A and B are shown apart, each in its own frame.
Chain A
Amino acid sequence: MKSHDKSPLATQVVLYFQIHQPWRLRPFHFFDIGSNHDYFDTPDNEEIAARVARQCYLPANALLLKLIQKYPQLKVAFSISGVALDQFQRFCPEVIDSFRKLATTGSVEFLGETDYHSLASVVPGTEFEEQVLDHTAKLQKYLGVHPSVFRNTELIYSNAIGRKICGLGFNGVFLDGIGNILGTRSRHQLYHHPEDTGLRLFLRDYTLSDDIAFRFQEHGKKLTPEKFMTSLAKTPAHAKVVTLAMDYETFGEHQKKESGIFKFLEGLLTSLATSGRFHLIKPSDAVTTVLPAGPLDVPDTISWADTERDLSAWLGNDMQQDAFENLVQLGTRVKALHDAELTDRWRRLLTSDHFYYMSTKKSNDGEVHAYFSPYASPYEAFVNYMNVIHDFTGLVGAREKDLSVANEQEASLKAEAERREMHTPVWAMKLENSYEK
């Protein structure tokens, strides 16, 4: 990577794309409770995965591969949730193949995250660690890669979460570069965790990122690579790292092909690859080459969602909190059963999207919530989710009963065995016998 000219003024650009598809719940009526335990058996999941693969993942990956072959200095990263990988494997395995091809170019890095794109980082206990390690194993299994930089669900982050991430062996993590954690400091630097100084913090430039993701066609005007590069060039000369991050679905799904989004992506990546001032860099390389500007303290939990940039997109209202508390409570019971299938179900229910659908926020944020939601209203999302929770609770209860019966049987067997056994050691029996004589 040192082959390219590296003037002292060069600014590194880290670009990552997020990919996620939840296991959506099927419509689950009150009368389904106790009689039908297929929560995720809906054609929606397959249809959506196949559609987005066709419109976005496959054409975008093909474009990326072509460009990387032309410009080997082009570097990008992907953050792909484990549930998305599982659905690709099942519904459209060619997507996995196309990512594996990208992985072998050496220009593409894959980030760690929670396996189920879940709210595990706010669940008490070790759920977070378990899901992160599972996700790491999944990346190895599907793509043959090992992540060293982390991106939590929806950029949920705090000092405490950073500590856990560091403990899992990651040396970098992404945050949203919001004002109330940075104060007057620049988001165009790398920082480190206040205590775990080995953990580098990347701060997403949400203005530049959202210019592409949300404002590609605003007010009838389209963004061009030139316009974007002009905005990018306005970053101060001493800027060390510019972090751009967005949904990969922006390309071909949120913005359809007809909008010219792929032309834009091609132009943008070409401009970045051939720019004198800006150099694309993989996150793991940035961690080792860019000196941190100092510690960054994040005492309260932040995220990249909504205007509030906190947890309110998922746990803001009573319905979300009640549903979440019910699920967390159920979690301890599920784990005690040591049943992989039940644990998988429980984790799918912990995926952040289900809670996102229950948001009752109004205005712009509400529209974004509604765009992603398969439900007519947050109330229906909640009722459907709770119907599933009710059924799942019944399922767990039945399994617990089976287990306690099995345990009882085992215990009584043991007791019986003990009762029949002579517990006196042989030497003592001998001794006893000698006394009698």
Chain B
Amino acid sequence: MRVLMFGWEFPPHISGGLGTACQGLTESLVQDGVNVVFVVPKMGGDEYAPGMQMISGADIPIPVARPSSQKTPLPQITAVTGTILDARQAKPDGNTMTTTPTSTQVISLTPRPHFAAPRAVASMTVVQVPSYLTPYAVPALPYAIDFVVAQENVPFDIEESLESAYDNGEAADTRSEIQASATNLKDCEGVSPVLNTVSSSGAEDVALDELEVTEFTTYPFSGAYGGDLMQETARYADVARSIAQHHDHDVIHVHDWMTFPAGLAAKAESGKPLIVHVHSTEFDRSGDHPHPAVFAMEREGLQGADHVVAVSAWTKQILVSRYGISPAKISVVHNGVVPKERSAALARRPGSQVVTFLGRLTFQKGPLYFVQAAFKVLQKFPDTHFIVAGSGDLFPAVVEHVAHLRLSSRFYFTGFLKGDHVDKVWSVSDLYVMPSVSEPFGITPLEAVQAGIPVIVSKQSGVSEVMQHAIKVDFWNIDALANAICTVLAYKSLSSTLRKNSKHEIKNITWAKPARKIKTLYHEITR
């Protein structure tokens, strides 16, 4: 079974979310003997994907139509699986597809050194397409600074491509040109789309002369948020078509709306069945006012798919009621969680009783319900302290609400947390609350449980379908939420029972089960 899979983020830089799920699922699929080619728009450089081949969309040559007057010799290009093309000759002169090359060249490279080792394992191919896009709402305000910084931590590794270029003797004479274009690339990253033109005159590699094109281009995906997102999904689809052509596969599997055009394009190219995996819908992110273009893209993907995977019954119900998809076409496959021992306490406790909210400060996550419940809890237990960990467009509103209720002396805002800072927050928390308005799955409660913290989740979450040993309330029921928090704080026996049982329960919420389900699905759909 060979699967061509399209995602947006492979290494999980942000706790939870799409990247985490994609990593967990594919790793288990590989262990189950499935051959996966995983495509991401942009790689961060720290992907660890044993047994997988990753391909970068930024390095995939795309046929470019040119005016016939500019006929040049047919290009030959290296496109061997496992080999990454990395010729860059950026022309940052706008969006036009008719970028004129100054010279024709091909630089074929062996895989980047740090990918070489894990890549050596056979069963999984990962197509590198640098990515840091997530399917989530773009934080519109400048306050989410940490979020932006997090992206900047994963710039495209220009130096490394240069180094690799030197390794290849043929490319040495194009050194200065590459350097110049690399600089351009860096300047333009995340600002405007840039076309990389890759043409070839070298003949010793695999010839692609069956292609009726005269020029190739590669897209450096900016990996940035903002207005270019729509354009990037379209480009990703172009790349997908080319990848589908060069990588044999039996089934196409795509994750969330930005990959749907890519999935449809790949399907049109190869005619293989398409599985659309929904980790989050526009209704979760935006409530009753979905972004029309995003909604349209989601519906198109769902309708064009041969089968749909929803991460929860909650999400399935949304797909049925809001997108008009037949329930028979949708399978529910709950996410798993990768077992992890959390690091020991590092931070200092702000108080004797600490209740934590950890997640993006957006409408979807319901942070304001947390604040309102805190107000009620403090009337009963005035020495309770509340941590709000995360950033997002509701940050100003949450801060103002806390100040308005005069709770600032009991509230702590950590901003966006990276790395072991999440563990630090867990180490001082007595209770985790996820009051999401609409949560397709929600992996953070499982991570809290791993860290030995009892959890309260909203009934409007997928994770509540798999957790028996968590307190569940309606997100809008402030009284019930406050009451639940108070009971956990008041009754140590309740807290310790929840802690113990949920930690035991989570041992069965692994990725092996969903991977098995999805493998079965692959076989059914390709039969």
Residues of B within 8 A of A34 (CB): 348, 350
Q: Which of B396, B409, B421, B424 has the most CB of A within 10 A?
A: B409
A387–B413 alpha-carbon span in the complex (Å): 8
> Interface stretch among B129-137, B270-278, B397-405?
B397-405
CB-based nearest B residue for A377:
B143
Distance in angstroms from A101 CB to nearest chain B CB is: 45
B142 at the interface (CB under 8 A from A): yes
A319 at the interface (CB under 8 A from B): yes
Contact yes or no, B408 A323, CB < 8 A: yes
A window 46-77: CB within 8 A of B? none
- Write the A22-45 contact mask toward B (1 if CB under 8 angstroms, else 0): 000000011101110000000000
Residues of A within 8 A of B412 (CB): 30, 33, 387, 390
Contact yes or no, B399 A383, CB < 8 A: yes
A144–B387 alpha-carbon span in the complex (Å): 50
Known: A30-B387, A379-B143. A318 touches B403 (CB 8 A): yes
A139–B406 alpha-carbon span in the complex (Å): 38
Contact yes or no, A318 B404, CB < 8 A: yes
Distance in angstroms from B391 CB to nearest chain A CB is: 10
A73–B414 alpha-carbon span in the complex (Å): 58
Distance in angstroms from B396 CB to nearest chain A CB is: 5
- Write the A193-235 contact mask toward B (1 if CB under 8 angstroms, else 0): 0000000000000000000000000000000000000000000
Known: A30-B387, A33-B348, A35-B348. A319 touches B409 (CB 8 A): no
Q: Which of A30, A321, A326, A386 has the most CB of B within 10 A?
A: A30
A326–B284 alpha-carbon span in the complex (Å): 37
A362–B447 alpha-carbon span in the complex (Å): 41
Distance in angstroms from B347 CB to nearest chain A CB is: 6
A window 318-333: CB within 8 A of B? 318-319, 321-323, 325-326
B window 388-439: CB within 8 A of A? 395-396, 399-400, 402-404, 406-409, 411-415, 421, 424
A389–B408 alpha-carbon span in the complex (Å): 10
Residues of A within 8 A of B415 (CB): 29-30, 383
What is the number of contacts between chain A and chain B, taking CB atoms within 8 Å? 70
Known: A31-B347, A33-B348, A321-B403. A326 touches B409 (CB 8 A): yes
A373–B415 alpha-carbon span in the complex (Å): 20
A376–B142 alpha-carbon span in the complex (Å): 8
A57–B396 alpha-carbon span in the complex (Å): 38
A382–B411 alpha-carbon span in the complex (Å): 12
Residues of A within 8 A of B424 (CB): 31
Residues of B within 8 A of A402 (CB): none
B121 at the interface (CB under 8 A from A): no
Distance in angstroms from A33 CB to nearest chain B CB is: 6
Contact yes or no, B399 A319, CB < 8 A: yes
A382–B399 alpha-carbon span in the complex (Å): 8
Contact yes or no, A389 B145, CB < 8 A: no
Contact yes or no, A377 B409, CB < 8 A: no
Residues of A within 8 A of B400 (CB): 317-319, 360, 379
Contact yes or no, A390 B399, CB < 8 A: no
Contact yes or no, A382 B145, CB < 8 A: no
A28–B512 alpha-carbon span in the complex (Å): 43
A418–B251 alpha-carbon span in the complex (Å): 92
CB-based nearest A residue for B387:
A30
Q: How many residues of A contact B (CB 8 A)?
A: 26
A35–B399 alpha-carbon span in the complex (Å): 24
A393 at the interface (CB under 8 A from B): yes
Distance in angstroms from B141 CB to nearest chain A CB is: 8
Distance in angstroms from A26 CB to nearest chain B CB is: 15
- Quick one: which of B142, B350, B407 contacts A33, CB cutoff 8 A? B350
Known: A34-B348, A376-B142. A383 touches B403 (CB 8 A): no
Residues of A within 8 A of B395 (CB): 379
CB-based nearest B residue for A383:
B413
Known: A29-B414, A30-B412, A376-B143. A322 touches B387 (CB 8 A): no
Contact yes or no, B409 A389, CB < 8 A: yes
Distance in angstroms from A95 CB to nearest chain B CB is: 35
Residues of A within 8 A of B402 (CB): 322
- Quick one: which of A30, A325, A382, A383 contacts B406, CB cutoff 8 A? A325
Known: A31-B347, A34-B348, A323-B408. A376 touches B145 (CB 8 A): yes
A344 at the interface (CB under 8 A from B): no
Residues of A within 8 A of B407 (CB): 322
A376–B391 alpha-carbon span in the complex (Å): 14
Contact yes or no, B409 A379, CB < 8 A: no
Contact yes or no, B396 A322, CB < 8 A: no
B window 132-166: CB within 8 A of A? 142-143, 145
A306–B407 alpha-carbon span in the complex (Å): 28
Residues of B within 8 A of A31 (CB): 347, 414, 421, 424
Residues of A within 8 A of B143 (CB): 376-377, 379-380
A window 343-395: CB within 8 A of B? 360, 376-377, 379-380, 382-383, 386-387, 389-390, 393
Known: A35-B348, A317-B400, A383-B413. A322 touches B142 (CB 8 A): no
A325–B404 alpha-carbon span in the complex (Å): 12
Residues of A within 8 A of B347 (CB): 31
Contact yes or no, B350 A390, CB < 8 A: yes
A127–B494 alpha-carbon span in the complex (Å): 48
A379–B145 alpha-carbon span in the complex (Å): 12
- Quick one: which of B399, B408, B414, B421 contacts A326, CB cutoff 8 A? B408
Contact yes or no, A377 B387, CB < 8 A: no
CB-based nearest B residue for A380:
B143
Distance in angstroms from B182 CB to nearest chain A CB is: 31
Contact yes or no, A322 B403, CB < 8 A: yes
What are 18 A-B contacts defined by CB distance under 8 Å? A30-B412, A31-B424, A34-B348, A317-B403, A318-B404, A323-B408, A376-B145, A377-B142, A379-B143, A379-B399, A379-B400, A383-B413, A383-B415, A386-B411, A387-B412, A387-B413, A390-B350, A390-B412
Which 4 residue pairs across A and B have the least CB separation, nearest first?
A: A34-B348, A318-B403, A30-B414, A319-B403
User: Besides the contacts A30-B415, A383-B413, what 6 more A-B pairs have beta carbons closer than 8 Å?
Assistant: A33-B350, A35-B348, A323-B408, A379-B400, A389-B409, A393-B409
Residues of B within 8 A of A (CB): 142-143, 145, 347-348, 350, 387, 395-396, 399-400, 402-404, 406-409, 411-415, 421, 424
